[in-house]
Amino acid sequence: MVHRSVPRLRIRRPGRASALALTAMLLVAACADTSAPSAMRSDAIESTLPGAPTTVPAGGTTSTPAPAPTTDAPTVGVPMPDSSAAFGWKPYKGSKTGPGEVEVGSITVPIDYNDPAKGTFTLPIARHRANDPAKRVGSLLVDPGGPGFGASILAIQADQIYSQTLLDSFDIVGWDLRGTGSSKPAIDCVDDYDRYYASTDITPDTPEQRQQIIDLSKEFEQACIDKNSTILEYVGTNNVARDMNEIRKGLGEAKITYFGWSYGSELGGAWATLFPSTVRAAVLDGAADPTADFVTTGLEQSKGVEASLDNFLSQCSAETACKFHNDGNAEGAYDALMQQLDDQPIDSVKGRPKVNLGVAITGVAEAMYSDQLWPELEQALADAQAGKGKGLLDLYDSYLQRQPDGSYDNSLEAFQVISCMDNPVRLTVEEEDSLAAEFSKAAPRIAPNTTGTYFCTFLPPSIDPRVTITGKGAGPILVVGTTGDGITPLASSQKMADALEGGVLLTVVGNQHTGYGVNKCSFDTIDAYLVSLTVPAAGTRCE
């Protein structure tokens, strides 16, 4: 949902850390032009299926509890049904042919499943065919999170994201969710992001400054209404889950397998609740708390990001090599710097806004997706102390998906609209303002706002709020939580596992958002479940 540091700050979406080694990522960005879901790179890691997972912590070895017995024997060597009529598959440019080939196509789905006359969405879709037909299990639908990110790139770049085991065993299928990426139509609200995210004082000193925040929030949301009137109320998670079922039918498979990160956990949970008989297996990595209301979700997430920031500052104080060490008092230096930026913003680059408190905190939040980004944050904070704001502006731009040509993709706008269409609550300006002190008390560094953020205030009511997630009848579902995940804290993932009838929690030790690929154990345990339906025992922990 909404993060309270600046208006409409996203906090459930894929991190970019593992993607620093990837190139040409088009849609799934947490930086402007190269990105992928956090810690998903697997080309140097071999899986050890079949067999029980083994935990290998950094400091030694320990055994994982024996896997729970499974009731369904996995079937391999399953022929791939002909789905060309549904999707019009064509080879992706430059792709090899045969096993391992990447194909692209599209599927048409109704805007309103209750009234097909309202028109259709055309959803781009991509498929990375299983590398080994003799090991093929079926199709694996994948989603990177957001909400607001298209997923077709996950299939196009599958060989740089997933383990060899998954590449051999599944056709990996990603699609641009309705309203996102290159779907047609796609959500589009504004072009000039700096006007809405860099021009306001998030701790206003005058009534005029406070009113500016309200006016810009209303202007932004009215633009979303004006430009997306035919689709606005139909881009919520329930309809995306219905689209998944249409994709399943188009693929010609009675049951399907799913792997979703971050917001993708909510999508997977909704799909498993609405279509339980079609679930073969599902992994929900970096899961949100499906039982929390809009305000509680924001508070939980603000606390999580704050905890990650505190961890970063503590480590920086303890390590003399940290560029923001400040004689062992990184915490005090950070607080002083943020106060300085609030009082007197600093220059960034020519033609771009100054770095004020809101811009700085947005950049800091970007770095909390993974500790792999902490060195970049160290340098950016040190530079800001010296009056140079480019480093923090770069992180701010990464968060907002600014492209090299100065444009933006539509993920931020889609994030806001989809989140609000899932949420039945519309807080008034006064109700939003009344919550500011509660958020600042819970997360004083990451949420110092003295006003509300008016995230959904001026959007129309939802006509189809996200279904209550139960997964009843879907069978075992693997939920992955990471100990140092500030974006979807471990406690949130535990609550997702508790909410699901067959939810099982896998705990991964690490300082980043989502757990797949943090270590060999997380690869092996998740792969064993997806391929062999081997459910890890309760309490399994990957060190």
Tens digits of per-residue pLDDT, 90-118? Answer: 999 988 888 999 999 999 999 999 999 99
The residue-averaged pLDDT of 155-181 equals 96
Q: 76: pLDDT confidence band, cut at 50, 70 and 90? A: confident
pLDDT for the residue 73: 56
Alpha-carbon gap, residue 255 to 245, rounded angstroms: 10
* Span 283-287, average pLDDT: 96
Q: Partners of 172 in the beta sheet?
A: 128, 140
**pLDDT above 60: residue 275:** yes
pLDDT confidence bin for 7, thresholds 50/70/90: very low
pLDDT for residue 297 is more than 90: no
CB distance 376 to 391 below 8 Å:
yes
Mean pLDDT of 134-140: 97
Non-local CB neighbours of 80 within 8 Å, separated by 6+ positions: 129, 130, 133, 136, 171
The kind and range of the H/E element at 270 are: helix 263-274
Mean of the pLDDT values across residues 205-234? 97
Residue 199 and residue 385: Cα distance in Å, rounded? Answer: 21
Closest Cα partner for 510 from 486, 482, 487, 541? 482
More confident residue, 16 or 373: 373
pLDDT score for 406: 93
Position 272 scores a pLDDT of 98
Alpha-carbon distance of 452 to 214, in angstroms, equals 9
3-state secondary structure of 172: strand
Distance, in Å, from the CA atom of 542 to the CA atom of 63, rounded to the nearest integer, reads 10
- Short-list 541, 479, 536, CA closest to 510: 541
The pair of structure tokens assigned to 14 is 């894929």
Enumerate the H helices of 170-262 as residue ranges: 193-197, 207-227, 237-251
- DSSP, res 72: S
Q: Residue type for 387, please?
A: G
What average pLDDT does this structure show over 130-152? 95
pTM of the model: 0.85
Of 53 and 405, the one with more pLDDT = 405
Total domain count, the chain: 1
- pLDDT at site 234: 98
Give the pLDDT score at 74: 67
Please report, for the domain that includes residue 273, its CATH number: 3.40.50.1820
Q: What is the DSSP letter of 207?
A: H
pLDDT score at 72: 54
Distance, in Å, from the CA atom of 439 to the CA atom of 344, rounded to the nearest integer, reads 24
pLDDT, mean over the chain: 87
- Provide mean pLDDT across the span 412-438: 95
Q: How far, in whole angstroms, is CA 269 from its chain's centroid?
A: 15
Q: State yes or no: cis peptide before 185, omega within 30 of 0.
A: yes
Q: Report residue 493 as tokens.
A: 């993932």
Q: What is the pLDDT of residue 77?
A: 87
- What number is the average pLDDT over the span 321-342? 98
pLDDT (tens digit, 9 = 90+) per residue, 484-530? 888 899 999 999 999 999 999 999 999 888 999 889 999 999 999 99
pLDDT of 10 reads: 39
DSSP state of 503: E
pLDDT attached to residue 33: 28
> pLDDT grade, residue 37 (50/70/90)?
very low
**Range of the structural domain that residue 478 is part of:** 1-543
CA distance 159 to 231: 34
Q: Which two tokens stand for residue 338?
A: 């943020």
Give the tens place of pLDDT for each residue, 368-379. Answer: 988 999 999 999
Percent of the chain residues past pLDDT 70, beyond the cut: 86
